[in-house]
């Protein structure tokens, strides 16, 4: 059975996209990963907020969709940990929520 993933692509407003973190670059990397690993992509979420907290509009919408579509999404993929969170404690709490 093929796994299904949402791709989370984030840049912050104070960050230069030309440092290799552009949304297009992140999406390309994630799409290649999914292709190599036979993972089906359900959605791509584009965020342009800081990762200092999880109080981000698109992240909150993603969480709502995950709750709504329980057992339909296997993975949330991102290119690097700092695309997910810059706060280790908050990241661990969010991982527990996602489980």
pLDDT in tens, 66-91: 888 777 889 999 988 778 777 778 77
Q: Which residue has the tokens 């960050």?
A: 15
- pLDDT tens digits for 39-68? 999 999 998 877 777 788 898 898 898 888
Chain-centre distance for alpha carbon 67:
15
Q: Give the span between the Cα atoms of 14 and 49, in whole angstroms.
A: 9
Whether 85 is a known active-site residue: answer no
Catalytic residue among 12, 22, 38, 85: 12
For domain 3-98, give the CATH number.
Answer: 3.40.50.1390
Q: Which two tokens stand for residue 95?
A: 């991982």
* pLDDT value of position 13: 62
On the question of pLDDT at 98 being above 80, the answer is no
pTM of structure: 0.81
Neighbours of 54 (CB within 10 A): 17
Helix (H, G, I), strand (E, B) or coil at 58: helix
Lowest mean pLDDT, pick from 5-9, 11-15, 50-54: 11-15
């Amino acid at each position: 059975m093929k796994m299904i993933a949402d791709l989370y692509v984030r840049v912050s407003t104070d960050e230069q996209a030309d440092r290799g973190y552009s949304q297009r670059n992140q999406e390309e990397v994630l799409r290649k990963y999914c292709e190599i690993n036979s993972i089906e992509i359900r959605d791509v979420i584009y965020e342009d907020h800081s990762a200092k907290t999880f109080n981000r509009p698109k992240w909150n919408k993603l969480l709502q969709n995950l709750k709504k579509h329980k057992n339909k999404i296997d993975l949330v993929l991102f290119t690097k940990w700092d695309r997910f969170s810059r706060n280790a404690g908050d990241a661990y709490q969010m991982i527990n929520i996602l489980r």
